[in-house]
Copies of this chain bind each other. A is one copy, B any other.
């Protein structure tokens, strides 16, 4: 095939693709706040959530962040959040990873305090986006009643986006979510003996 034929064929293919895409978009008319879940064993669950949070901040939206497991954050994220002091509310409730505290009763109390803060944010429709970071971990350990969490999330204001992160998302949460992404690990530097480092790993 000549270069010209190749180009013409390509243009035709792209015209069809564009038309198909526009047709799909035209059928999507419901605008609403989404319940988004980032789960899976791979990297990027919280990082992608922060990407959404930063984007929302760029749009001037008010956002809330509840950290259910302390120690999971990189200081770099705080520096960026601090650029938007009037738009962000951050609640850091965890007392550390569970393998650090080794104290189940204290972990349960921390989870409850974090969840109470989260419920308050969810009830306030002025928040356009709320990140419940590592909530899945807390649910997996059974530190909060799943039913209460599911009911609260189902009743969130229509315009509020809520993002839940962490491995092992509960089926009941996936069931009610609008958008679920599994970050699947294909290759990890730990296998090659590379140390966790500032700016990429926490």
Contact mask for chain A residues 1-28; partner B; CB cutoff 8 A; 1 contact, 0 none: 0000011001100110110010011011
Residue A151, interface by CB 8 Å: no
Bound complex: CA of A35 vs CA of B30, how far in Å? Answer: 39
Residue A74, interface by CB 8 Å: yes
For A48, the chain B residues whose CB sits under 8 A away are: 43-44, 47-48, 51, 183
Question: How many chain copies?
Answer: 2
CB distance from A29 to the nearest CB of B (A): 6
Given contacts A80-B57, A101-B14, A195-B28, contact A181 B186 (CB under 8 A): yes
Which residues of A are at the interface with B, using a C-beta cutoff of 8 A? 6-7, 10-11, 14-15, 17-18, 21, 24-25, 27-32, 34, 36-40, 42-44, 46-52, 54-59, 61, 74-80, 83, 98-105, 128-129, 161, 174, 177-190, 192-200
